[in-house]
Amino acid sequence: MVEEQVKISYKPLWKLLIDQNISKQELRRRTGIAVSTFTKMNNEKQVSLDILARICLELGCGFDDIVEIDR
C-alpha cells in the first residue's frame, strides 16, 4: 500500500505578509525561526506545527490563513 504524500503550500502566508507589509526577514526575526526553516517553507516542504503556531501568534491568524493543503 502506497500512501499519498500531503503537499503543503505556504502561498497564503506569503500573501498575508505582503498584505501586512512584513518582509520574510522581519517575520523570521520576530519569531526566531531559523533561515533553514524558511528555506524549507520557500521550497514547499513541511515544517513543525510549533513553527506554524509561532507564525500564527505573531501575525494574529490561524493555521488556515498561512497554509493550503493539497493532495
∠ CA 45-65-12, nearest 5°, is 55
> Is 11 inside a domain boundary?
yes
Domain tally, the chain: 1
User: Among all chains, which residue has been given the C-alpha cell 497554509?
Assistant: 67
Regarding predicted confidence, which is higher, 15 or 1? 15
Tens digit of each residue's pLDDT (9 = 90 or more) over 17-37: 999 999 999 999 999 999 999
Q: Which grid coordinates are listed for 54?
A: 509561532
Tens digit of each residue's pLDDT (9 = 90 or more) over 58-71: 999 999 999 998 86
Judged against a pLDDT cut of 60, whether residue 12 lies above it is answered with yes
Check residue 5 and give its pLDDT.
75
Check residue 25 and give its pLDDT.
95
> Is 1 inside a domain boundary?
no
Judged against a pLDDT cut of 70, whether residue 3 lies above it is answered with no
Which residue, among 71, 30, 68, has the nearest Cα to 51 in the 3D structure? 30
Task: Give the domain extent around 37.
Answer: 7-70
